[in-house]
Amino acid sequence: MTDRGGPRLRGENPRVPGDRAHSDDTFSDERERRVGSHQPLRAQWDPIGGESGRPRTPRPERTARKQSKLGRFVAMYGWRAYAIPILLVVTVLVVVDAVRGGGGTSDQGATADPGFGTRSTGTDGTGVVGAPPKGDGAFAASVPSAALPDGGAFTATGAGTWRVIGGATPKTGEGKEQVFTYTVEVEDGVDTAGFGGDESFGRMVDQTLANPKSWTNDHRFAFERIDKGEPSFRISLTSQMTTRQACGYDIPVDSSCYNPGIDRVVLNEARWVRGAIAFQGDIGSYRQYQINHEVGHAIGYQQHQPCEVDGGLAPVMMQQSFGISNNDIARLDPEGVVPMDGKTCRFNPWPYPRG
């Protein structure tokens, strides 16, 4: 057979008309034009549009609605999408409550007595206010909560006279109805060095009465410390035995009191040093309670109170020196205002603990 072509290059496949191989190659070229390159590494100028001339497959008609921005947010963050707005609302409520002073406690103090009982506007006389109840001397052994705790040394017997501690303060509180003036005094013979000296005692009194959780939360009242002239009452740190003479000791438990006959808020130094069992060793809180409770008597709240809410804060006019359980106090004074109902409170030194 004669070769009609020129010399073939190596690897060349001659195409002869009518040859089947030639027909197959022609078909392959046509198919490549229709479906694109089979070479995986072949790049395209337009990866999205495909090769030039290639017909695009029509998009299927969308049956689902396009997702909203809120839907995409929920899909992305899951349960957090619901938690975030709830936390924002809670935060706003807390801020509003704080700005309003914890639910309006201050406003209540300006218009009403928050459970202090009936206030007497006249406390002049000789009757002791806040004295221990009458008894036969057999109660203390059965009420351990009223006993004086162990602790530091105190003065058993003083001179029965008091020295005024120098110092004065501006008026604290609005005093819409009454401004109470007071002196700070210490009984002669009482050594205050063990708890910071006379000045430290005076600062404790001043800071307690100036605290917004104290009686000035009630807009009717204001306090002003003086060191000259006649005060409304004298806040006096007093020895154990002198306190017993001024306040009474029918039931052998150490207490404090307000004695209008001598115009004195009598603070028992034995309690000032050692506190009360109910306060669990928190001497600072007990001293604040001791001041607020007895000054409460001096400004007209003569009645004591029971624990009103089991597990709640004790009213400041509860006899917390004797205990914070109604049953304990009722044992000391069965005829008193405190019922034996099993309620027990938590100690509290303030008239307005949320003030």
Above 50 in pLDDT, residue 42? no
Of 259 and 12, which is predicted with more confidence? 259
Above 70 in pLDDT, residue 21? no
* Per-residue confidence band for 98, with pLDDT thresholds at 50, 70 and 90: very low
Closest CA to 124 of 232, 223, 249, 246: 232
Name the CA dihedral angle for 35, 38, 42, 46, rounded to a multiple of 10 degrees: 20
78-97: average pLDDT: 55
Of 335 and 266, which is predicted with more confidence? 266
* Per-residue confidence band for 251, with pLDDT thresholds at 50, 70 and 90: confident
243-257: average pLDDT: 92
* Per-residue confidence band for 344, with pLDDT thresholds at 50, 70 and 90: very high
pLDDT of residue 130: 62
Cα–Cα distance measured from residue 77 to residue 82, given in angstroms and rounded to the nearest whole number: 9
φ, ψ of residue 234 in degrees (nearest 5) = -115, 120
pLDDT of residue 35: 45
Task: Give the H/E segment covering residue 264.
Answer: strand 264-268
Above 70 in pLDDT, residue 269? yes
pLDDT of residue 276: 98
pLDDT of residue 99: 36
User: Three-state DSSP class for 53?
Assistant: coil
Cα–Cα distance measured from residue 54 to residue 133, given in angstroms and rounded to the nearest whole number: 107
pLDDT of residue 143: 85
68-88: average pLDDT: 64
pLDDT of residue 121: 65
Count CB neighbours of 242 within 10 A: 24
Of 60 and 199, which is predicted with more confidence? 199
pLDDT of residue 64: 53
Which residue type does 178 have? Q
316-320: average pLDDT: 96
> First vs last Cα of the chain: how many Å apart?
120
322-337: average pLDDT: 90
Q: Which range, of 63-67, 168-172, 226-230, averages the lowest pLDDT?
A: 63-67
pLDDT of residue 354: 79
Distance of CA 135 to the CA centre of its chain: 40
Q: What is the pLDDT of residues 219-240, one digit of tens each?
A: 999 999 999 999 999 999 999 9
66-78: average pLDDT: 66
Of 2 and 163, which is predicted with more confidence? 163
pLDDT of residue 305: 94
Mean pLDDT across the chain = 78
* Per-residue confidence band for 43, with pLDDT thresholds at 50, 70 and 90: very low
Residues β-bridged to residue 234: 183, 264
* Per-residue confidence band for 274, with pLDDT thresholds at 50, 70 and 90: very high
79-104: average pLDDT: 50
pLDDT of residue 59: 58
